[in-house]
């Protein structure tokens, strides 16, 4: 996780052959600095995948793409929303996928699925490389049945623990309509809601959870981790690894599995529509 929280989100997913960003919601400068901390030169990126068009997921993209011709992967509505009113309209390297599609970026298979959130066509991802996989759901009001099914096989799950319900309800700064939006079925997962999602996945292959997208005012890493730990203690799964990502620092590198050594043979990928 290069950084995660209500003020900005970006993550790096990498194999020996492939480096992709999920969202570009930090300043371009911070993305570059943090990639370098991970030993990745920004011009070596194989793509940026977008979950949805909200500023905390795309705000660094315009400047990043001004300097680099990185392929940007998004569904059509998200691409349209990001491109309107921004210099990204001049970016030529868009790869448009249909929500629900599965495609490859080098040796990483990307599965996309819709998530309920107040954006034009928000998605979550499941990534697979070798025999291991990673689920990625950051902005969603609740977990649909389909989404749970998509995530049953993942070993590591990145999930939002956006807010503590009490802190949000008692927050003096947010007007009621904003609180209602956050708590709605197209808003964000609370710590408890995220715990419920994790509980549903315990019968699957999950062995590590990375918590993210915490609200600065209405949550703390201690509260979020506490709720998840309490759940895992209740069901006797105390060996599960939990990490809470922060806004200001790059997380440790999470090793999800091994991929085959040796050269990777790229294959022709036909899942995309290039847009002019």
For the CB of residue 87, give the shortest distance to Zn ion in the complex, in Å.
Answer: 22
For the CB of residue 54, give the shortest distance to Zn ion in the complex, in Å.
Answer: 4
- The interface region with Zn ion, picked from 56-64, 151-159, 193-201, 243-251 by CB under 5 A, is 56-64
Q: Do 147 and 200 form a contact (C-beta atoms < 8 A)? A: no
Distance separating alpha carbons of residues 262 and 173, to the nearest angstrom: 55
For the CB of residue 43, give the shortest distance to Zn ion in the complex, in Å.
Answer: 27
For the CB of residue 122, give the shortest distance to Zn ion in the complex, in Å.
Answer: 7
- The interface region with Zn ion, picked from 14-22, 50-58, 72-80, 89-97 by CB under 5 A, is 50-58
Q: Do 120 and 78 form a contact (C-beta atoms < 8 A)? A: yes
| Residue 243, both tokens | 């990490």
- The interface region with Zn ion, picked from 49-57, 93-101, 164-172, 199-207 by CB under 5 A, is 49-57
54 binds Zn ion, rule: CB under 5 A = yes
Query: Any alpha helices (H) in the chain, and if so which ranges?
Result: 28-37, 55-58, 61-67, 76-83, 145-151, 165-170, 176-183, 191-201, 221-234
139 binds Zn ion, rule: CB under 5 A = yes
160 binds Zn ion, rule: CB under 5 A = no
For the CB of residue 268, give the shortest distance to Zn ion in the complex, in Å.
Answer: 33
In degrees, rounded to 5, the angle at the alpha carbon of residue 74 between the alpha carbons of residues 31 and 206 is 75
For the CB of residue 190, give the shortest distance to Zn ion in the complex, in Å.
Answer: 14
- The interface region with Zn ion, picked from 53-61, 189-197, 200-208, 222-230 by CB under 5 A, is 53-61
Distance separating alpha carbons of residues 153 and 214, to the nearest angstrom: 25
| Cβ partners under 8 Å of residue 183, min gap 6 | 165, 168, 190
Question: Comparing C-alpha atoms, which of 271, 9, 15 is closest to residue 162?
Answer: 9
**Residue number with CB closer to Zn ion (54 or 91):** 54
**Residue number with CB closer to Zn ion (56 or 62):** 56
From candidates 23, 46, 56, 164, binder to Zn ion by CB under 5 A: 56
Which residues in this chain contact Zn ion in the complex, by CB under 5 A?
54, 56, 139
């Amino acid at each position: 996780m290069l950084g995660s929280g209500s003020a900005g989100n970006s993550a790096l997913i990498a194999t020996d052959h492939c480096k992709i960003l999920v969202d570009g919601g930090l300043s371009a400068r911070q993305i570059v600095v943090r990639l370098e901390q991970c030993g990745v030169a920004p011009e070596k990126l194989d793509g940026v995948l977008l979950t949805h068009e909200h500023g905390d997921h795309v705000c660094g993209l315009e400047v990043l793409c001004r300097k680099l011709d990185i392929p940007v992967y998004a569904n059509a509505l998200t691409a349209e929303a990001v491109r309107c009113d921004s210099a990204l309209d001049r970016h030529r390297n868009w790869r448009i996928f249909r929500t629900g599609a599965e495609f490859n970026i080098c040796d990483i298979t990307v599965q996309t699925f819709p998530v309920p959130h107040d954006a034009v066509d928000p998605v979550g991802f499941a990534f697979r490389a070798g025999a291991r996989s990673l689920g990625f759901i950051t902005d969603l009001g609740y977990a649909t049945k389909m989404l749970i099914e998509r995530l049953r096989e993942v070993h590591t799950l990145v999930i939002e623990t956006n807010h503590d319900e009490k802190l949000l309800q008692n927050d003096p700064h947010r007007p009621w309509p904003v609180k209602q939006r956050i708590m709605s079925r197209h808003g964000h997962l609370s710590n408890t809601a995220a715990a419920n999602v994790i509980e549903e996945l315990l019968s699957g292959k999950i062995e590590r959870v990375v918590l993210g997208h915490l609200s600065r005012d209405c949550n703390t890493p201690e509260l979020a981790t506490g709720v998840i730990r309490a759940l895992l203690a209740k069901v006797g799964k105390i060996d599960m690894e939990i990490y809470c990502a922060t806004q200001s620092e790059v997380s440790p590198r999470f090793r999800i599995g091994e991929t085959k050594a040796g050269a990777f043979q790229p294959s022709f990928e036909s899942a995309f529509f290039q847009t002019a």
